[in-house]
Chain A
Amino acid sequence: MKISARQNLEGKCLGKFLQLNSMKSKQMVNNNLIILMHTQMKKMKLLFLVLFITMANGFAQQRTLAGQVLDEQSKPMAYANVFIKGTAEGATTDTLGYFSFTTARKGDIILCVHMLGYAEFCRTISGNTLAPMLVKMNPDNVALDNVVVAAGNFRLKGNSQWGGMSAVDMVTTAGSTGDLYRSLQTLPGAQIVGESGKLYVRGGDNSESQTYIDEMHVLSPYTNPGDNVPVRGRYSPFMFEGINFSTGGYSSEYGQGLSSVLPLSTKDTSPITKIGVNPSSVGLGGGGTKAFSNGSMSVSLDYQNLGPYRAVFPDRLDWINPYQLFAGSSQIRFNPDPNIVYKTFIGYDRTTFTQQMTSPVDQTTRNFDMKEDNLYLNSTFQRKTESGYKIFAGGAFSLLNQQIGDATVAGDTYNNKEWEVHLKTKATKRFSNLLRLNVGVENFFRHNQTAYADSSVIHRASINHFISALFATANLNLTANLSAELSSRVEYMSIDNSWNYNPRVALTYNLNGIHFSGILGRYTQLPDNKYLLLNQKLLPENCMHTIGGIYYEKGDKVYRVETYYKKYNDLALQQPTVLNSEGYGYSKGVDLFFNDRSLFKNLEYMMSYSLNLSKRKYQQYTELTTPQYATVHNATLALKYTIPALKTIWGITDRFASGRPYHDPAKDGIMNSTAPFYNSVDMSLTYLVSKKVIVYASATNLLGRKNIYDYNYTNGASGYRITPVTASSDHFFYLGIFITLSGKTAYDVSNF
């Protein structure tokens, strides 16, 4: 393509134009850049100016926050932490409770005051508030509770609970022989029923006391050693981190117990890997724990055989095969997060013994042969959420299977199989210092079947039923000194298609450290299975608790007085021709308790006394009378003395109970006589041989008193034959050696 001259000229002109333009453009660009830079610099200057002005303004416009902090008695509170919420700005009050600090923050702010033991105080302060503030703090009732529980071994809310009791405390109490339930019998409210060993509380039958492990019900907490041989707890006290014992007026969360509850809690974490063995005068045990980064697993095995012991210390019974117990248990704990705990416990034990029994009527003999299997499985989940909820869910399965040969006469057999599934879930949240709520549901599914057979008859019976319950508790801190606990429990029982409503109210008032407490609560429980198997239309038994108490703790001394009245209704009553729910009764009394750790160095002593007046028309008692197990007076004096130079802890316990009523058929009326009083002086010694070896020795009834609990009358040709009911032996000696085998731990008697 050719370019014409004109086109060429035009092209040159255009080129020139462009060149000129280019030069102009360059100049323009430079000008623009300068303008732009100026603009940017201006912006920067402006930015710095704004920042400077802002900062200067901030410094110039700081405001002062000042005031005084007072405690609940309007006394100045020194060292309180006063601060603006979400910031590090604040100050500490001086000895007169005054504070003052400056802040550059404008507008509304939230001013908070913190002091350990007191509820957090927060208030919104508007931007134009200049006047000094007056802040009044109130004690944090949660913190207060914790302190009281630990310092005085009492839990005031919920009544009568000995918090902080440890397995070591229990074992070193003379006469406990390392048993959970025997140790609890030294506390006020518990009654001494020496031939049984089970818990009888404030005039209630032993079936009215319920045991819980990690909030889940235990169907069969006692071993079965035979007639007139005191039972022991199936589970070692060393398993438990917390042992609380409530002798009445307990929270509505616990149902199906008319007299008392014993909630036991296992450790949430067990961070120590350990292994140990403990040979004792009654058997051999051992086990250990393997700790992981987020959990642990514990295993324990125990074999008891009273044969060798009885060979050295014979008792009054004729043993064909000695009492033997094989027990194994394991617990897995998993803590994926500090706020989450999973725990699963499984325990199995098998008991066997054969005892020759002689009939007091015709002197014939039979070999009472017991085989018992017990399984307990318990799995729980706990979580604390960021929003302050505590969530709990758990399930437990209990199975008891007993096979007895020569149960009542030679040649008969009696089988008893019982199981229970317990499911429970609850949520707890403190909404404010004023209100804490606990709401939950639970279900018990129960089964029991029995079969009795002799040469002429076979009798079978069984029941299946369930109990569903909804419970709710509100803790209200009404004032700094007054708190209330309102709770209720609604239960449905499938066996008689009935609904029960159990309300409860508890009030606690703190007057200069003296706590006054009052509780009114209703409790229900189904009759014992042996009656339900005969009549499934029996009503749930019920009991109304009315309790008033005064508690005081100063230094190392704890004082406590508690009085109670319990009214029973709808108790199972075995009339001559009919079994119905027309039984009733009452139990009233006073419990006194004093504990002191300050009299002499290294000495701790405890005194408890219980007065109980109890009468019932129930079960086989067809007239209103005092049940055979009830004692009017119970008293305990327990001393513990530590001698560091000898590395020993000595314990002496003296237990006394007035005579129990019994029925003398030669006299008018029922339960018309009184057996002799009970007394037992027990002693224990704990000796730290080395850091890997602990020796524990215990002996009961050192004075050798023959305690008689009852008399059996047998009608013979020459009149009544009277047989005193005593424990199988007057003394019990226990010697246990706890040996730690693992290298890094010591002074540890717990496998868990």
Chain B
Amino acid sequence: MSLIFNNKLLKINQTMKTIKVYVCAILIALPFFASAQELASVVETVKKANQVPEFIQVRNQLERFSMSQPQEWLPYYYMAYTDIQLSFMLPSKDDKKRYLTDAQSCLAKLTNLSGANQSEVHTLKGFRLYALIASDPQTNGPLYYGELTACYDKALALNANNPRAVILSALFKNDMAKFMHQSYPDFQKEIEKAATLFAAEDTATVNPTWGKAWLDRAKAQK
């Protein structure tokens, strides 16, 4: 009798334990789920931002995320991205320098962070160097040309179908060819490839999907 009792008791206990585990798991996961939802919302803001205050606001949110979840790569990634965007938009050289320095430090953290999409990270590294060159082409062009090319090459070696790496690399090669009074013969082909890749990309994701504006710019340059 006691055995039966014990067994039933055991079963009930186990069932209750299972329920408790589920409840606890839900309760534990709830903040993360909420956090993921919140991050998704912030990423959506990043994608829509086009004014300096909007970028700064969202950059601050990302900074808070990165500090509360230092093992997550996306907050650092988007922080670096907003830093670079701000460097394009702010007129002061000191501000450009500050934001690009901060972007460099975010990108450095991404180098060894597990889960980080290294093709996207290298694309962003190249994009940062592009911003540096844009801030002072005469001085920074010769300094960072090689490193920038290496970043895009690495990004494409890791993922040949990274649309951002495809279009940014093509744009830079075309700009340099124009500077040399030459033409970049694969420019059209690369634009078409990037357009196809962008079209196939799922934009309803927290993962990087920016860069279509650069495709439009490239199309305008054709």
Contacts and interface: CB of A to CB of B under 8 A. Distances in A.
Interface of A: 21-22, 25-26, 29, 32-33, 36-37, 40, 43-44, 47-48, 51, 79, 81, 83, 85-90, 92, 114, 116-117, 143, 146-147, 150-151, 166, 168-169, 271-272, 274, 291, 337-338, 602, 642, 644, 647, 688, 690-691, 744-748
Interface string B157-183: 000000000000000000011011110
21 contacts: A26-B1, A32-B9, A33-B12, A36-B12, A47-B20, A48-B23, A79-B53, A81-B63, A81-B64, A83-B64, A88-B38, A88-B65, A92-B61, A143-B98, A151-B93, A166-B139, A647-B179, A647-B180, A688-B180, A691-B176, A747-B142
A146 B138 CA distance: 20
Given A47-B20, A89-B64, 17 more contacts: A25-B1, A29-B1, A32-B9, A48-B23, A79-B57, A79-B60, A83-B64, A88-B65, A92-B61, A147-B94, A291-B150, A690-B180, A691-B176, A744-B149, A745-B146, A746-B176, A747-B146
Contacts of B5: 25, 29, 32
Query: Chain B: interface secondary structure?
Result: helix
A26 B108 CA distance: 68
A117 B98 contact: yes
B97 A747 contact: no
A169 B139 contact: yes
Contacts of B1: 21-22, 25-26, 29
Contacts, number: 125
Nearest to A293: B154
A22 B5 CA distance: 12
A29 B4 contact: yes
Nearest to B94: A147
Interface residues of B, number: 53
CB-based closest 9 A-B pairs: A81-B60, A25-B1, A88-B68, A79-B56, A88-B64, A272-B150, A92-B60, A272-B146, A116-B98
Given A81-B64, A83-B64, A92-B57, A274 B99 contact: no
B16 A44 contact: yes
B122 to A, nearest CB: 10
Given A44-B16, A81-B64, A151 B94 contact: yes
Given A92-B57, A272-B146, A691-B176, A37 B12 contact: yes
Contact of B97 (A25, A29, A36, A151): A151
A568 B133 CA distance: 46
Interface string B130-165: 000000001101110111011101100000000000
Task: Output the residue of B64, B141, B154, B182 with the most chain A CB within 10 A.
Answer: B64
B44 interface: no
B199 interface: no
Interface in B89-123: 93-94, 97-99, 101-102, 108, 111-112
Contacts of B151: 271
B63 A47 contact: no
Task: Output the residue of A36, A88, A291 with the most chain B CB within 10 A.
Answer: A88
Contacts of B56: 79, 92
B72 to A, nearest CB: 11
Nearest to A241: B143
B153 A51 contact: no
Contacts of A747: 141-142, 145-146, 176
Interface string B60-81: 1101110111000000000000
A81 B142 CA distance: 36
B207 interface: no
A295 to B, nearest CB: 14
Given A83-B67, A147-B94, A744-B150, A642 B138 contact: yes
A688 B142 CA distance: 11
B99 A116 contact: yes
Given A88-B38, A116-B99, A150-B97, A271 B143 contact: no
Given A44-B19, A86-B67, A147-B98, A644 B179 contact: yes
B16 A86 contact: no
Contacts of B48: none
A691 B141 CA distance: 12
A271 B145 CA distance: 12
Nearest to B35: A88
A114 B108 contact: no
Contacts of A748: 145-146
A44 B21 CA distance: 12
A10 B87 CA distance: 99
B138 A602 contact: yes
A469 B115 CA distance: 47
A151 to B, nearest CB: 6
B219 interface: no
B8 interface: yes
Contacts of A25: 1, 5
B16 to A, nearest CB: 5
